[in-house]
Copies of this chain bind each other. A is one copy, B any other.
């Protein structure tokens, strides 16, 4: 009998995908460090043995979780920055709204959160998170340039700073209001760079 027709539930082709789906729920919602491998395997309906067939260590699971979010075109910040129905300036401002929606308690930015949870700068998950956020900042700068802003690289850094501040605050307060304040200041930053 081909293994692919009746895979055992703990070693099916979707095991890696189920692990990553479980991380995107549990690591994001309750945190990386409090989520043990046992809980993750239970949520993914796989055995620990299967998890360690796919990943050499929990650190590799964490890095794969962050890479999966970073590479997901449906991750709201990725989706909004590529919305063809919005002009560059509107895409940049809509970005802040992604922090205010979603399940409560609000949990902000998974990459900012990884920075807090993984204090070792050489942790493979932190490297993924920092690389994504540097690229994210570059994308904000490129959109600012498309929107006609002068000093677009600096504008991009400032928009990213406001995004991360709002991410930290919506998380701490479980309140969407800081995202609106960040959006208003981001609009002013863009306006100043276009006047």
Contact = CB atoms under 8 A, between A and B. Distances in A.
Interface of A: 29-31, 33-34, 105, 107-109, 111-117, 119-121, 126, 129-130, 133-134, 154, 157-158, 160-169, 171-174, 178, 181-182, 185, 188-189, 192
Taking the full assembly, how many copies of this chain does it contain? Answer: 2
Contacts of A178: 157, 161
Contacts of A34: 33
A27 to B, nearest CB: 11
A168 B173 CA distance: 15
Given A119-B31, A161-B178, A165-B164, A112 B185 contact: no
Main secondary structure, interface of A, reads helix
A115 B172 contact: yes
Contacts of A120: 105
Contacts of A111: 172
A35 to B, nearest CB: 10
A133 to B, nearest CB: 6
A181 B140 CA distance: 15
